[in-house]
Every structure is written in C-alpha cells, then in structure tokens.
Structure 1
Amino acid sequence: MTSFQDVQAAATEFARGFNHNYYRPLQVAALKGDWETAKKFFNNDPTATTAKVTTLAMTALHVGAIGGQWQFVEKMAQHMPKEALAVQDLAGCTALHYVAMGGNTKAAKALVTKNPSLTQITNLAGLSPLIYAITSTNCKDLVWYLTLVTTDENPGFPFSGSSAGYLVALLTAAGFHDITLYLLQQHHNLAIVTDDNGSYILNVLSKMPAEFPSGSKLGFFERCIYQFVPVDLDHSPLSNLTDINQPELQSKTYMAQGFQSYFGSLRWKGIERLVPGIKEVRDRKLRHKSAVRLVDYVCSKALTRNSAEFWQSFVSANILRNATSSGIVEILRICFDYFPDLIWNYIPNEGYIVHVAIKSRQEKVFSLICNMPICKNFILVVDESENTTSHLAANLAPSAQLADISGSALQMQKELQWFKEVEKLDHPLHREVKNKNGKTAWELFKEEHKDLLERGEKWMKDTSNSCMLVATLIATVVFAAAFTVPGGNNSDKGIPIFLNDNAFMVFAISDALALFSSITSLWMFLSILTASYAEEDFLKRLPQRLILGLAFLFFAIATTMIAFGATLSIVLRDRFQWVYIPITLLASLPVTLFAMLQLPLFIQMIRSTYGTSIYHPQSLW
C-alpha cells in the first residue's frame, strides 16, 4: 500500500514538469462549474479534456467532481473518451471516487453508463468507489446503485479482494443491513470474512445495540406504530432511483420486490408523506429486521465451515462480550442457537457471559441466560479476587446505565432491585462470603453506593420541600375559601346564599377535597423529610411515600381549579351565560401543564416500585 509520503513525493516529481499557469483557467472553471469557459479552453486545446491539470495529476473531470459541480461532470463525461474516464490521479482515484464521495447518483450514473469498469477500479489504498460512497456520504440511494452495478472483476475485485472485509464492515456500521444482505447473497464469501477479532459483521453489530429491537428506545406512540407498520426485507428500496434509465437495473429491482410489494411500498410512501414520523419508525423497524436476519444469515454460512476452530475464531470472545455488555439479546440467541457450545465460553478477566451481564446491568441478557439450568453453576463461580456473583452485582452500575434513570433516588432504587434480584439466585452462603478486601457483598454495596445514597437523599428532600410549598399554599387558599364562600352568607343564620345552587355544591365539594388531599400530601412529604434514609428505604418505603404525595398533590391542584371555576361561574353567569366555557379551558391549562411535567416521573416511579421484577425468564431455544 502506498503511503502518504510516497504520494507527496510523486506529486513533487510531477509538479516539476507541470505548467500550472497554463491550466489554471481550466482548473478554476472546473471548480466553479463554468462549462462555457471550459468549453472554449477545450476548443483551443482538444487535448485538455484528458490532460492532467493539477499537481496531483487530476483531470478537469476530477476537479469538477471534487468541487461538487455535477452538471459539469455530466457534460465532461459526454465529451471525454471512455478510457479517459478511468484515469487515476496520484492517489489512485478516478473521478467516480470523488463523485461517490459527494453522493450524487445522477453524476455517478453518467460515468458508469459510459464506462462500467469504473466501479471495479480501486485507489492506492485498495478502496473502490462503493467504499467511498459508504464512508463519505449518507446517501443510501447511491450506495444501492453502486452495489448493483459493481462486479467482482479486474482490476480491484471489490468483493473478494483485500478490502472485502472492510467493505462489509462499513456497510454494517452505516446501518445498510438490507444492502449487506443483498451482497452476501450474491457473494457468499463475504459472510464469513474474519480478522483477529472474529467476524467482521458480527464484531460491528455487537457494538450497535440501537440496530436491534432489544436496544431500541421508543416512545409510547412510536411503539404503537412500530407494531403495525409493515417492512419488506425482500425488497430493494430503489424507488428514489426511478430517474436512472438503466433497463437491467430496473429489471433486477422489479424481480426482487415483485409487483405486489412494489405497489404496497408506494401506498406506504404516500402515508409517510402525510405523517412524516411514520417513515422514521418504519426505517428503524427495517434496520432491526434486517440486522436480525443478517446475523442469522452470517451464522448459517459459518455453520457450513465444519471446523470447531473456525467457529471459535468466528464468534470470538470479543463479540460475545460486546453483545452482552450492549444488551443485544438477538445476537446471543442466534449464536447460541447455531453454536450451543458458546454458552461455556469463558471471557478472560470478565468471567462467563452471565457475569458480564451482571457487571453491565443488562437485564434482558441476564434473564435469557439465567433461564438455563447450567447458569446456576456459572452463578456459583467465585473469581480470582474471591468475589461472588453478589459482589459483582454490588458494584456501582456504569454511568451510562444510571443516566437513563431520572433522579438519584430512583437510580438508588434500581441498584437495590438489581442487587436483590441477583442475590436471590446466588447461594445463601455467599451472603457472608468476604472477598480479598474482607468485605461481604452487602458491605461492598454500601461502600460503592455511598455517594449515590447521599445524592438520593438530597434529591428526595429537595423534591419534597418543593412539593410541600405547593401543598401548603393550596391548603391555605382552600381553607380560607371555605369561610368566604361566593355570594356571602345569610346575615340571620349564616347559611350561604347559594346553598341550593348546583354550582355552589361543586365549589363546596371540590374545595373540601382540595383541602383534604393537600393536607394528606403535606404529611406524605413531611414523612419523607423525617425518614432515616437507610439504603433499603429506597427500595419501597421512600418511593411509595413520594408516589402518594405526588398523587394527592395533583388531585389537590385539580380540585382547587374546579373550585375556582365554580366560583367564577356563580359570580359571572348572570352577565355572561357562556362564561363556563373559557373558565373550563383556562382552568384545565395549569392542571394539564403540571401533568405533562410531572407525569413521566410519576409513571416511572410507579413502574419501578410496583412493576414486574427485573428477572423475566426467557426461552433460549
């Protein structure tokens, strides 16, 4: 492979005999896309169309492609001979390399149509235009186009040469799993290419949890859309390439997808234009389905290599560790399905897979592995530092895991839940086992979570103090309102004048409910301030009190606004009969705003406190 210094030396040598002043007007015209000026230059000097006009031995076509002047590139392609399109600069790049870097499909089509061999030419680093399109742009249409028109021929052999593994790794990292699947079906050798870290494809995917359903974080409405939106994995999504008039390419497209799938795709594209968010969910689901099928396809091809040594290098310890620490259940499930012996794999300095899952707090992987009887043996293993499995669970979770949980108190609760769940599966005798540092698992937990405990206590007290202020204000207001009722009282007996009015009854009931609920909320928050704040208090006691306090506070706010609305209706209805409409709308605003701001935290606390256990046994086979 030629180094940068070699290219620089070649450029220096080439520059000695290069007439810069002569070609400068043509170079500037190409950078600007000024075809008229360039055409005049070509008329005066016809050899300039193929001449090298820069010190890096680039033609005007190269310069136009680097400048992103796509119309200029198309016109140059028409005026240049077929062989001249394949001219390489000192870095070994043709104009198609730079067009691929710029991401323009139409310009690429103009070059490839005239000289189809351009797609096979690699630069000095062994990289084809297809690789340039993947690494330098996010234009999937161009990647699809170059994939379909690139053949595994001289001089570069893009799909079987030295850069083949790099190609599939880049495609996978870019999330173009459907394109990768298409290539693997055409060139079976790409499925089993490996390096020192194992399979190129599995190694990349094991670091990309967002490409799988288990690692996807969807909102409520996104999850609803995700379940129903269809995806077609046997469909090459080339609808955006309809402007490319290439019969053989269109034939491949229609044969791949079928007419029914094609028209179904058009129907969903119409829906996506009306609701743009659907396209994002649909694209994500396509990536998820494609990634799972890609893993399955790669493992199935590896299985044809009847060699245990190959399997061990193909699904390396690095891949298993990455997939486990990233929580990618799909990769582990498929790998164990094809290669069951991998379950015994011991990862150096990490332990068995269940130990990696515990350290990285991957609940789904933990539930998958622990459903197997053999896992009980793994859990009883003590490492070199005499740490039991409970000791591993006692360590503080990675910061990335804690960041997904809002509030230090809820983080502490999650840590306790995880420790208690692992402790249930561990042997009872291990609770008193001390590691090399002389600490039991619970002692280690308290030491590791000392700072988090302090932050959780502060968070609880700050939240309670803020909510107590609101609850006190509501209690004061509604208490005073009970003795200054709307319309006043009868001077003889002190009975409210509007006692028999329905609106007044609404006021009285809602005012009483607001007072009772605000006082109850106040006591809940006060009990939080006076709690002992031991570690185990964060498991149930403190979260339950906070949930009750927030629930009663929300109810107090809602009933206070109802009482206020009923009072305004009584006072103003004789003048404005429609007054209850704006009153209702305005009263709903603060209640809705409070719900929107606090409801996510409230729901998260309920799910964390009263939800299902962390451990959900899953069937592996």
Structure 2
Amino acid sequence: MASSSSSSNPHVTLEVGEENTYPYPYPSHVYNTHSFLTLKLSGRGEYGVWKTQMICLLESHGMLGIIDGTLVSPENSSSEYRLWRRSDALVKGWILGSLSKETLVYIVNRLTGGKRHQEDFSAKDVWDELQKVYAPVFPKLPPVVAPPVGADTLQDEDLAGDLHSLYNNIQRGYWDWVEYTLNGGRVTVIDKITNNGNTALHVAVGTSKKREFLEILLEKIPENTQLTDVTNSDGSTLLHVAAIIGNTEAAKILVARNPELLAEDNEGQTPLALALSNMHTETARHLLQHINTDTQKDALFSGTTGDGLLVTVISSKDFRFAIDLLEHYKTLNSDAVLMAIAQNLPLNVFEKYKGFLYLYGSLWHKITERCTPWASKFIINPFLYVTTIIIMLFLIIPWMLVSQITKRRFQIHKDAMVLLSNVSGLIKENNNSSSYHHYYTNPILEATRQNAYQVVEVIVSHFPHAIWSANEDGHNIIQYAVINRSEKVYNLLFQMSEHRNIYRTVRDSYGNNLLHLAARLAPNNKLNLISGAALQIQRELQWFKEVERFICPLSVIQRNSFNETPQTVFTREHKELVIEGEKWMKSTAESYTITAALIITIVFAAAITVPGGSDQNKGIPIFNNNTAFTVFAISDAISLFTSVTSLLMFLSILTARFAEQDFLFKLPTKLIIGLATLFISTTAMIVAFGATLYLVFGHRNSRILIPIAVLTCLPITSFVTLQFPLVLDLISTTYGLSIFGKNIRDYRLDGEMLI
C-alpha cells in the first residue's frame, strides 16, 4: 500500500484509507533528537530533569498519548495493531536511547525477567518501570476518584505527609511518633512508602533490631493480610530484608510467626542464601534450624543452588558452619565446593614456628659438624644454649600474648581440614568411581597452584587416581607444582616411592622434562613474595638446582621440541631478571658503601683525637687508666676494622661479573658479610660515642650513664628493625633450611657433600 502525508501534520505518515479510521501519529522525518535529549538517565537524582526533556520531545511530535494511556493498544488481530506497534516502537526507542548503559541493562532485565531475546514490553511499560525505580523516594499517590465539589483538596497532601513522617520516624526509632501517625488512620504498616515498594514493616526490619518495636508493628497488620503477602517490588518479604542486613532478632520473630517466609523472592533467592551471601552467619544459623521438611531441604541443598550455599560459607572462612551445613546434603552437583576449599584453606599457624625451629636446629647442626670438638664444647654449645633461651622467650612471650587469637586460627584450620575430609567422603560415597574425576581434577590442580599440599594429600588419600590429574597442557600435579613453584606440593614427590622414578624421565607434549619446567620463569605472584630481584633469581636457581639433582643425568642436556636444553631455557627466561638483580645488588652496595666510608672517616678521626686529649710530655692519653676510655678504644677499633671490611665487601660486589650462578651463593655471601660487619661497625661506633660522652660529662655524675645507655640502644634498635629482616632473608635463603624441607638427603656434586 502507498503512503501519503497527512495535511494537518506534514511529519505524520498514515496508511492510505486509514486516516479517518484509527490515526496513530508517526513522524516520517525524525530530526536530531539530541537537541531535546541532552541528559542521559543514570541515577535517581537526574530523573526530574530527564522526565521534563522526554515530555518535551514526545509533546513536540504528538506522541505523548503513547505513554499517558490515551493511545491504547488495539487487539493483536486488528488491522490497526501494526500501526500502533510502529508508533510504540518509535517512542520506546527514544526512551531507551536516553538511558545510560547501566540503566538500560538494568531496566531491560527487570522487564524481561533476565531472559534474552524477550522484548514483549511497550513504551508505557518502560516509562512506568523507570518511574517506579528512579522517581523520588515518595512517589505520587495512585490516582483516586475526583472528590465532590467542596471536599478538602489537601487530603492527598496530608497522606503524603503521613507517609513521609512514618518513614523518618521508623528509621529514627521514634515509636511514639510512629504510633501517633498510624492512629491517624490515613496510613497502615503495609502501605508502600519507598520508591522500590518497601512498606513500613520493611523499613522497620531494615533499621531497627528492637524486638518490642517490631512486634508492636506486626500486631498492626490488617486481619486479612498474611506476612507472605507483604512484599516489595522485588518480591522480597520481611524475612528477606532481615537476612540481607543480618537482623537476627527480626528473623526469629518472623519465622516463628510464619515459616513460609523461607521461600524464594522474584530472583529465586531464599532468606538463607541471602544471609550467607552477606556473611551474616548468626542469622543463617537460626534460619537453618527452621528448615525441617524434606521438600525444603531438597530445594536448598541440592543442585547448583546447594553448592553455591556451601561455596559462600567457605569463602567467608566459617568452616564450622560449613560442616554443619554439609550434614543436610545428600550429594554435590559440581567441583565448586572442593575448589572453594582449595582456594580458601587457611595456613596452619604452627607451621611457621615449626619451620623456624627446624631452620634454627639445622643451622647449628651444620656449624657444630664443621667445628673442632674443643670449639664446639667451649664456644659453640654455650652460645647455643644462651641463644636457645632467648629465642624461646621471644616465642613463648608472644604466644602468651596472642594465645586466644592463635588458638582460634588453629581451630579454623582444623575445621577446614575436617570439612575437606567430609566433602571428599560425601563425593566418594554418593557417586560412581567413573565420575570422581569431575569433582577432584580442577580442585587438586588449584590446590597445587596455591601450594595447599594438605588439600592435595586429602584428595589423593580419598581418590588415589587423582595423582595423575592433568591440566589442559597435559601437566600433572608434580609438573604443575614445579611450574608454579609450589615447594610443599613438590615435596610430596619424595613420599611417592611407587611413582618417584617416573618423574625422573617424564616429558610433556612439547618434549619438556621436569628440568625444562623448572627453568621457566616463576609466576609473578610467587616472585613478588620474595624481596629484591637478587633474592628472586637466587630462589629460581635453587629450584633449578633442586630439580637438576633429582632427574636423571641425561635429562640435564636433553632437548625439547624447540631444540632447547634446560639451561638454555633458564638463561632465556631469566635474562631480564638477572639484569634487575644486578641493578638491585649494585644500588644496595652503593648505598652501604657511602655509609661504611662515612663511619671509617669518623672512627679514624676519633682514634687520632682521643677524648680528653693526651699528655703533652709523654703523649699518653689523659684518660688512659679509665675503664670508659678502654671501652672507647676497643669499640673504636672494632668499628674501624669492621667498617673497612664492610667497605671492601661492597666494593667487591660493585666490581663483580654478575653471572647467573653468582646469585646462588657468591653474591649473597658478600652482601651478608658486608651487612653484618656494617651492623657491628655501627653498633661499636655508637658505643664508642657513648663512652666518650661519659668520659667528658659523667666523671662527677655516674647517673648520666643511664640516659646514655638508653639513647645508645635507640639507633641500634632502629638499625636492627629496619635492616635485620634483609640480613635474615639473605642468611635463611642462602645457608638456612632448604625450602625442599621434606627432601632431607645427601647429594654429591663435583666432589662436595651438599645437605
């Protein structure tokens, strides 16, 4: 059919023959609408301005009837429906085009229920939904029948004022004013008083935890109204609101009155799920007690929803509640629960202390082995006993101070291990052995990446075949542990007497053996745990040397599919890290070189110009027979000699060649000696200065020794606090207990015994 323009409106197109039957406006030449729509709706504060500009646009094109209900939709079967549909689509496009991206997605999802490709909503539906969501907190009252002539025209304003007063007074907890407003009779507790359809009861549950206040409000619900009928625009009942904010008192009252409130809202969320997702464990525990029927349990504790509940609890680290929750499960739907445990397993608080004591014992064992019997008996052993007492004091006192925190952390770890065992048992009990791998493959690989060796042990103990789990690149857990530098999982290799030899020659799809994988650069999240590029390259070398000692000798020179040996891969992958390590080592040495040179200058000058001066006839210092002068002389000499030694060490670092292998022992050893002697030099210098102060000012007042001693300890303590962690890291990584602690065995390499 041809089309022609209406004579009354040149921009309105109608089908020929239908101008007088059912005219629907439709601009045939829509000019640029940006002159009207200069603001896109993105929040509640912009709704008034946005609405004004939209009404101007619609009125100017004669399309306002589409949204105000004047031009209603005809029957689908009528010939006019297509014309109305076209006009409605144009207005809907204008409205949707005036929304921000976030607002557009949100509104369309609300109108379609989250379903894609379902667009059966009109322009008026969009307009009304926007008004419901973004209109002011107290929207316009619904249209009422026009009052007769002479009626009080302020009635609507009074009602709006009562709603506003009710909202504010409930939030503030002013019960007397709330009761006064309700007794006025114009409003009730189930009237919707917010833009998202919350009633006075919703607001009370969300703001007040006073039991008496809530109970009094609940008593004012009309007789024929059920609690399940009191919902907002999202379908949330009062119990949903209580679960979201963790109002346990309100939850107890509501569930006791009507257990059916435990049902889902419009989005399929139960109050229990909302309480867990918002980490309100106490509220969730109470709700769980009221889930008694098999129907409720099957709905909550099965399928994806059931797994999601457990994952939420595990993510909040409440493993005790997760154990209680697991008792209601008959089976699990996926690997999500095991995966959540692998990602959130807490560290055993005792491992740090155990590792430190093991490191301490190992160090002294090595020292005593290399000393003569006389030195061990009269020097090493007494020093060892004193050091042990000091260390135990430093461990016991903090333990006593934080014992409750430590016990709680220990209990959390214990609960996590119990949960892990129970979950593994549930999977094994209720599934066929052929489907086990669907549950443990991804979790055991994630545990390997996280270095959660206890998760790996428990999974393998329940599912022995899990040891052969592989990722998408075909790497099993030991290969994956080497790639991700998970030393605790790698150490499990030495408990696998049955399969250990397989890993000596195993190769992946690219021909990489275990040493090729160790030659790769470690992931950034593992490198960032180590301070300084020099220590990072040292750790990488330790991994390479460890795996090199384990594999077969021929594998050391074996080439992969890219014709690269492990050493070639290591050099290529760590080229940039070696450069960064060189820069870090040089900058550190340069900084300490200046400090050592400054100390040399000071203590050398102090040795020449002794405090108090010298006898002009004999040249002997005046305070020669004073004990404080002896302390000064010895301290100054120690400071001079150690600072010179420190300076030489730092200079040797600056002139080193910085080869890869030097970062393993040579360079760290020089840095350790330089830092240790610098610390001794600084301490001796401070002591010498304190002795000088006492000689000059304290010969008549011995009490001046107290502030001198206190002030002397201040810089020493500061130096230890700021620099000792670096020294400790260097010593522990270079000469301390190997990170491969479970692999305590002797190796012979180039004629040397390595432990």
Taking structure 2 as the reference length, what is the TM-score of the superposition? 0.68
1:194 to 322, 333, 353: 333
- Mean Cα deviation higher: 152-161 or 6-15: 6-15
Q: Tell me, what secondary structure is at the counterpart of 2:501?
A: helix
Cα distance in 2 between the residues matched to 1:388 and 1:517: 47
Instruction: Provide the residue aligned with 1:517 in structure 2.
Output: 642
Please tell me whether residue 596 in structure 1 is matched to residue 738 in structure 2.
no
Contact map agreement 1:490 1:497 (CA 8 A) in 2: yes
Cα distance in 2 between the residues matched to 1:277 and 1:32: 45
Cα distance in 2 between the residues matched to 1:48 and 1:117: 23
- Mean Cα deviation higher: 606-615 or 530-539: 606-615
Instruction: Provide the residue aligned with 1:581 in structure 2.
Output: 706
Instruction: Provide the residue aligned with 1:146 in structure 2.
Output: 287
* Residues 82-121 of structure 1 mapped to structure 2, 5 A cutoff: 84-87=226-229, 88-118=231-261, 120-121=262-263
2:307 to 165, 168, 175: 165
- Mean Cα deviation higher: 335-344 or 30-39: 30-39
Please tell me whether residue 19 in structure 1 is matched to residue 19 in structure 2.
no
Q: Tell me, what secondary structure is at the counterpart of 1:494?
A: coil
1:456 to 569, 581, 595: 581
Instruction: Provide the residue aligned with 1:394 in structure 2.
Output: 519
Cα distance in 2 between the residues matched to 1:475 and 1:183: 68
Contact map agreement 2:559 2:565 (CA 8 A) in 1: yes
Counterpart amino acid of residue 202 in structure 1: L
How far does the alpha carbon of each residue in 1:110-161 deviate from its partner, in whole angstroms, 9 at most, with x for none?
A: 323333442x21112322112111222x433323333334434666855335
2:271 to 115, 129, 132: 129
How far does the alpha carbon of each residue in 1:15-58 deviate from its partner, in whole angstroms, 9 at most, with x for none?
A: 79972864674266235525444434432438823344556554
2:528 to 403, 416, 425: 403
Cα distance in 2 between the residues matched to 1:521 and 1:55: 73
**Aligned sequence identity (%):** 34
Q: Tell me, what secondary structure is at the counterpart of 2:611?
A: coil
- Mean Cα deviation higher: 596-605 or 77-86: 77-86
Q: CA deviation at 1:587?
A: 1.1
Cα distance in 1 between the residues matched to 2:644 and 2:626: 27
Counterpart amino acid of residue 182 in structure 2: F
Instruction: Provide the residue aligned with 1:539 in structure 2.
Output: 664
Please tell me whether residue 319 in structure 1 is matched to residue 458 in structure 2.
no
Cα distance in 2 between the residues matched to 1:150 and 1:349: 45
Instruction: Provide the residue aligned with 1:204 in structure 2.
Output: 340
Instruction: Provide the residue aligned with 1:29 in structure 2.
Output: 166
Instruction: Provide the residue aligned with 1:605 in structure 2.
Output: 730
How far does the alpha carbon of each residue in 1:233-283 deviate from its partner, in whole angstroms, 9 at most, with x for none?
A: xxxxxxxxxxxxxxxxxxxxxxxxxxxxxxxxxxxxxxxxx9995554444
Contact map agreement 1:382 1:388 (CA 8 A) in 2: yes
Cα distance in 1 between the residues matched to 2:186 and 2:355: 60
Q: CA deviation at 1:577?
A: 2.5
Instruction: Provide the residue aligned with 2:466 in structure 1.
Output: 342
- Mean Cα deviation higher: 139-148 or 580-589: 139-148
Counterpart amino acid of residue 79 in structure 1: K
Instruction: Provide the residue aligned with 2:221 in structure 1.
Output: 80
2:201 to 45, 53, 61: 61
- Mean Cα deviation higher: 529-538 or 68-77: 68-77
Cα distance in 2 between the residues matched to 1:477 and 1:562: 13
Cα distance in 2 between the residues matched to 1:279 and 1:149: 33
Taking structure 1 as the reference length, what is the TM-score of the superposition? 0.82
* Residues 204-603 of structure 1 mapped to structure 2, 5 A cutoff: 204-209=340-345, 211-213=346-348, 278=403, 280-305=405-430, 307-315=432-440, 317-373=441-497, 374-603=499-728
Q: CA deviation at 1:606?
A: 0.5
Cα distance in 2 between the residues matched to 1:427 and 1:321: 26
Contact map agreement 1:206 1:326 (CA 8 A) in 2: yes
Q: Tell me, what secondary structure is at the counterpart of 2:226?
A: helix
- Mean Cα deviation higher: 514-523 or 143-152: 143-152
How far does the alpha carbon of each residue in 1:76-102 deviate from its partner, in whole angstroms, 9 at most, with x for none?
A: 234337963323334231111112111
Q: Tell me, what secondary structure is at the counterpart of 2:559?
A: coil
Q: CA deviation at 1:346?
A: 2.9
The alpha-carbon distance between structure 1 residues 438 and 612, as it changes in their structure 2 partners (threshold 3 A), is same
Instruction: Provide the residue aligned with 1:269 in structure 2.
Output: none
How far does the alpha carbon of each residue in 1:513-554 deviate from its partner, in whole angstroms, 9 at most, with x for none?
A: 111111111111111111110000000000011001101000
Q: CA deviation at 1:419?
A: 1.0
CA RMSD of aligned residues (A): 3.1
Equivalent residue pairs, number: 556
Contact map agreement 1:547 1:606 (CA 8 A) in 2: yes
Contact map agreement 2:162 2:187 (CA 8 A) in 1: no
Cα distance in 2 between the residues matched to 1:522 and 1:573: 34
The alpha-carbon distance between structure 1 residues 23 and 322, as it changes in their structure 2 partners (threshold 3 A), is farther
Q: Tell me, what secondary structure is at the counterpart of 1:469?
A: helix
How far does the alpha carbon of each residue in 1:432-487 deviate from its partner, in whole angstroms, 9 at most, with x for none?
A: 22223322111111111111111111111111111111111111111111111112
Cα distance in 1 between the residues matched to 2:502 and 2:572: 28
Cα distance in 1 between the residues matched to 2:534 and 2:550: 25
The alpha-carbon distance between structure 1 residues 391 and 175, as it changes in their structure 2 partners (threshold 3 A), is same
Counterpart amino acid of residue 534 in structure 2: A
How far does the alpha carbon of each residue in 1:188-238 deviate from its partner, in whole angstroms, 9 at most, with x for none?
A: 42xx3123xx2x3202112224x242xx799779999xxxxxxxxxxxxxx
- Mean Cα deviation higher: 40-49 or 483-492: 40-49
Q: CA deviation at 1:375?
A: 3.2
The alpha-carbon distance between structure 1 residues 221 and 594, as it changes in their structure 2 partners (threshold 3 A), is farther
Instruction: Provide the residue aligned with 2:43 in structure 1.
Output: none
Q: CA deviation at 1:5?
A: 2.1
Cα distance in 1 between the residues matched to 2:197 and 2:326: 36
Cα distance in 2 between the residues matched to 1:349 and 1:60: 58
Cα distance in 2 between the residues matched to 1:589 and 1:328: 41
Q: Tell me, what secondary structure is at the counterpart of 2:530?
A: coil
How far does the alpha carbon of each residue in 1:593-612 deviate from its partner, in whole angstroms, 9 at most, with x for none?
A: 00100111111110000012
Contact map agreement 1:77 1:110 (CA 8 A) in 2: no
Structure 1: where are the runs of 5+ without partners?
A: 225-273
Q: Tell me, what secondary structure is at the counterpart of 1:499?
A: coil
Counterpart amino acid of residue 208 in structure 1: N
Cα distance in 2 between the residues matched to 1:25 and 1:515: 86
2:322 to 176, 180, 183: 180
Cα distance in 2 between the residues matched to 1:84 and 1:218: 56
- Mean Cα deviation higher: 4-13 or 144-153: 4-13
Counterpart amino acid of residue 178 in structure 1: R
The alpha-carbon distance between structure 1 residues 577 and 615, as it changes in their structure 2 partners (threshold 3 A), is closer
- Mean Cα deviation higher: 466-475 or 11-20: 11-20
Cα distance in 1 between the residues matched to 2:113 and 2:739: 58
Counterpart amino acid of residue 199 in structure 2: T
Contact map agreement 2:483 2:522 (CA 8 A) in 1: yes
Instruction: Provide the residue aligned with 1:5 in structure 2.
Output: 111
Cα distance in 2 between the residues matched to 1:430 and 1:206: 33
The alpha-carbon distance between structure 1 residues 6 and 51, as it changes in their structure 2 partners (threshold 3 A), is farther
Contact map agreement 1:329 1:364 (CA 8 A) in 2: yes
Instruction: Provide the residue aligned with 1:50 in structure 2.
Output: 190
